[in-house]
Amino acid sequence: MVPPGHFEVVRDPVWNNIRIDAEALRVLDSEPLQRLRYVRQLGHAFLVYPGSTHTRFEHALGTYHLTRRTLGLLRDRGELRGIDPYDVALIQLAALLHDVGHYPFSHALEEAGLPSHESLAEKHLRHEELQAIFHDIGIEHAEGRIRDLIAGKSTSPLQGLLSGSLDLDKIEYLTRDARMCGVPYGTVDVDRLVHSFTLMTLDTGEQTIGLHEKGVSALESLLFARYQMYRNVYWHHAVRSATAMFKRLVRAVITQGDLDPDWIAHSTDDALMEALERMSDTALATRLKKRRLFKRVFDVPASELPPGIGDWISADPDLTERSENRLAEVHGLEPGTLLLDFPQKPALLAANLPVQLRDGTSAPLNRGDGPWPLGIKQVGEQLHTNARHLRVFGAKPVAIDRDQVLELAEMSGEDVGRYLER
């Protein structure tokens, strides 16, 4: 048992000293949080950027640190007067627990069709160790309230610090990911942003987290840094190849009944890979282990394609797999040797939080105009398009008919389904 008032200081390569209070220490030592020490933050990105072996555990610590720091600034300005102290305590614990439901290998398995990590968080929050901590803290309905904060469904006025278009989670992972990958793209003016967060009262009387006008330039830099990280790191062609191979592999073993999705959800990177290598068909697992990645046999930037084309590829994993098999058959190849990839994240560069103007009034940041020079909504949509590529990865070099792939991608999901049935 950690005595009340006790705290520890942890050294971190990004934020230097991180102070961890008594309640957070107990959560940190629980089994669900300790599992995150063995779940890499960036999945297969380490196959391209060798330094990117940092974990969800480190990211959770950093998010907790930024949350404590921002709350301290709000408190110093008197903005937390009237806020339920339990809301303040819960947002800190939620910051520490926000990735507790994450699968091994980042977001790949969500792309493969498994439930989102936010929806899995509730199972982990019911762990007996966490239940005992919540009981001792004495916050009523702590589990459900933390779950809602993680999912972005809380009515807490502090919700925007953890889950929103601009939140401390994003600021933390962009800063940490760039540092650990050794790239200059994720530079974020963290000090300016955390000092610019403010607790606003809207015309409706609702209290919410907003941004002071003086922080808008720093926000613009953050949005561009996020675009750069997606374009150069998260959606790097070799990272996406490994991700596509991994998705196909895990979907196969689940379909065959060799692995239980619930076991996968509670597993770690190494445990899952060891299990996959023991399966009867280990070709993809072996290739991933040895970094024998599929190569690009087709690659077209989304900026050269009509809007809305191929959205079914990321939205419907089952249909995508059937399409991959059909493409392989047409080219005289075995199923699973051609993989389609067209990642998308519509809210990638969304910024819909309110801004407090210098004259005391407020304005939504994404209204398309305003007293800031950059049309954030329009630029965000364009940058999202520029970051995406429609690709086909192949187990071996093969000449792919460009028109055939584009014709397939231009169909709606329903039309693709009917085409495959024929």
Q: How far is CA 225 from CA 124, 218, 389, in A?
A: 32, 10, 18
Of the listed ranges 48-52, 70-74, 374-378, the least confidently predicted one is 374-378
Of the listed ranges 169-178, 232-241, 281-290, the least confidently predicted one is 281-290
* pLDDT score of 280 more than 70: no
Residues pairing with 212 in the sheet: 356
**Residue 392 near residue 296 (C-beta atoms within 8 A):** yes
State the pLDDT confidence band at 186, using cuts at 50, 70 and 90.
Answer: confident
- Mean per-residue pLDDT for 364-382? 63
Domains of the chain: 7-235 (1.10.3210.10), 250-345+386-421 (no CATH)
State the pLDDT confidence band at 364, using cuts at 50, 70 and 90.
Answer: confident
- Going through 329-394 in order, the beta strands assigned E by DSSP cover 338-341, 354-356, 362-364, 389-394
State the pLDDT confidence band at 264, using cuts at 50, 70 and 90.
Answer: very high
* Closest by Cα among 140, 142, 167 to 152: 167
- Mean per-residue pLDDT for 366-388? 69
pLDDT over 90 for what percent of the chain?
Answer: 64
Q: Count Cα neighbours of 301 within 13 Å in the Cβ-side half-sphere.
A: 10
**What's the pLDDT at 251?**
94
**What's the pLDDT at 367?**
56
Cα 266 versus chain centre, distance: 18
> Which residues are CB-contacts of 169 (< 8 A; sequence separation ≥ 6)?
63, 95, 98, 162, 163
**What's the pLDDT at 304?**
92
State the pLDDT confidence band at 354, using cuts at 50, 70 and 90.
Answer: confident
**What's the pLDDT at 356?**
85
* Helix (DSSP H) and strand (DSSP E) numbers for the chain: 20, 9
- Mean per-residue pLDDT for 287-310? 93
**What's the pLDDT at 371?**
54
* pLDDT score of 296 more than 80: yes
**What's the pLDDT at 139?**
78
**What's the pLDDT at 89?**
92
